[in-house]
Structure 1
Amino acid sequence: MIKALLFDLDGTLVDTAPDLCGTIQDMQSDRGLDLTPMTAMEHLASGGARALLKIGFGLEPQFADFPAFRAEFLARYEARIAHASSIYSGIRPLLDGLSAKGLRWGVVTNKPYYLAEKLLAELGLLDDCEVLIGGDTAAAPKPSPAPCLLAASRLNTPAQACAMIGDDERDIVAGRDAGMQTVAAGYGYIASPIEAWQADVLVHNTRELQAWVDSLGR
């Protein structure tokens, strides 16, 4: 029986692409460069700074300029973190109804903890989030199962009684390897064939996610 739901953040609970991709565009604009269209970047939002700096500037972690660009990206993003980002339609009522179903919830994200905490706070989700695991909280980020296992431990809930919900294959791999049920959020930033992830459940929108949550109590 599922007792706790663990959500990825970007592309699962919150549409953060406008601010993540907007940060790249701000950096390009200040350098007099052509702007990468939002539609060319938004599917990479779950990949964070690494993926966005690659498409926006052709930078990869082994390049000498990468650390400075990443630091600039993070500082600029923090300044506008919830300027245009929004909670997906249907998510807030879903979360609000979990306690009545006897379900707990938390967030397991690869976003740095300080940014995830600030985003959840600005969107009014932090107070009800029982556990928050950032990309720098556990021994390794997803797809390692370590963040999922740490979240379950902090909730004092067996991993087998948790479900990991996310829009990236890393979420599904991490949850599966932690012994959790997995739910692929097909409405998020899908960058690879979602059926190939072999999640236990596939939902195409938040209405289907709500229906799955409702089925847990039956």
Structure 2
Amino acid sequence: MAVVEAVKFPKAVLFDLDGTLLDSAPDMVAAIDAMRARRNQPPMALTELRPHVSKGGRAMVAAAFPEVPEDERQHWLPEFLDSYEQALGRHSVLFDGVDAMLAALEQSGCIWGIVTNKPEYLARQVIPVLGWETRCAVLIGGDTLSERKPHPLPLLVAAERIGVAPEDCVYVGDDERDIVAARAAGMPSVVALWGYRLDGDDPSAWQGDVMIETPSELLRPDAWPVTR
């Protein structure tokens, strides 16, 4: 009689940070509101900014100040990053189910790390706030390397640093560029549907390997895409 091999968690999992592991939108809107206050403008509604968070700082500044010409707004990014650094970790929380999911991965022997487009110096300040100093095996920021997502280089370097082949890793992200980067790296992917998306985004068109509604679903090994 044939022996059926038990379904296992992946050997390694790499995650996007904002919108995938961390609901950082409240910190982001605090940073934007500080900028708006300096310009005598009222606070911005969290619901208005939330869909833009995974698109990066430039997109958030554009959403907050649509009346300002783009060539002027681009000079405001350092101010946004400084404001965000002041708010970092004060209001953000893990998405429901993330802590249990990471614990299940660790219990299975799975290695996990983070590949984000957030500047590395900011991402590294988040890690101790979450108590992940000894848990997160690798951290690649948007300025760590010469390329950032959707280029596959950050994912490939992260896999190399943890000593796992890309095809044995899974990448989890809530934005199209996450899935594009994973596909280019030869890495199976999970579309995190609980993250931040604009109304016009169509995750089914991103061609991820699986789409998952909540982190809690990833407590089941069979919910993950098949690796090598």
Structure 2 distance, partners of 1:52, 1:216, is 32
Which stretches of structure 1, 4 residues or more, deviate above 3 A after TM superposition?
A: 212-217
The yes-or-no answer on 1:195 pairing with 2:208 is no
Q: Which residue of 2 aligns with 1:109?
A: 116
Alpha-carbon offset, residue 212 of structure 1: 4.5
Match of 1:86 among 90, 93, 98: 93
**1:216 offset after TM fit, Å?**
7.7
How far the C-alpha of 1:26 sits from its partner, in A, is 1.7
CA contact (8 A) 1:17 1:85 kept: yes
Match of 1:52 in 2: 60
Q: Secondary structure at the match of 1:6?
A: strand
The letter of the residue matching 1:197 is: W
> Share of identical aligned residues, percent?
40
Alpha-carbon offset, residue 209 of structure 1: 2.3
Q: Deviations over 1:19-54 (max 9, x none)?
A: 112211121122211333211110111122101110
**Residue identity in the other structure for 1:189:** Y
Between the aligned partners of 1:12 and 1:128, the Cα distance in structure 2 is: 17
TM-score, structure 1 as length reference: 0.92
**Deviation by residue 1:124-159 (Cα, 9 ceiling, x = unmatched):** 123210000000112211000000000001011100
Q: What secondary structure, in the 3-state scheme, does the structure 2 residue paired with 1:165 have?
A: strand
Q: Distance in 1 between matches of 2:222 and 2:64?
A: 38
Aligned pairs (5 A) from 1:38-49: 38-49=46-57
Cα distance in 2 for residues equivalent to 1:64 and 1:39: 25
Which residue is 1:4 aligned to?
Answer: 12
Pair 1:153 & 2:160 matched: yes
Give the structure 2 partner of residue 30 of structure 1: 38
Give 2:126's match in structure 1, choosing from 97, 115, 119: 119
Tell which deviates more after alignment, 159-168 or 32-41: 32-41
Q: Does the Cα contact within 8 Å between 1:182 and 1:199 map onto a contact in 2?
A: yes
Looking at structure 1, the residues matched to 128 and 208 of structure 2 have their Cα atoms a distance apart, in angstroms, of 30
Matched, 1:206 2:215: yes
* 1:11 aligned partner, one-letter code: G
Matched, 1:138 2:173: no
Q: CA RMSD in A?
A: 1.9
Which deviates more, 179-188 or 31-40? Answer: 31-40
Structure whose alpha-carbon radius of gyration is higher: 2
Deviation at 1:91, TM superposition (A): 0.9
For structure 2, the 5+ residue unaligned runs are 1-7
**Distance 1:104-1:213 versus aligned 2 partners, 3 A rule:** farther
Distance 1:215 1:144, change over 3 A: closer
Verify: 1:17 aligned to 2:25, yes or no.
Answer: yes
Please give the alpha-carbon distance, in whole angstroms, between the structure 2 residues aligned to 1:16 and 1:216.
26
Count, aligned residues: 215
* CA deviation map 1:176-217 (0-9, x unaligned): 110000000000002211111111010001121222477689
- Segments of 5+ residues of structure 1 without an aligned counterpart are none
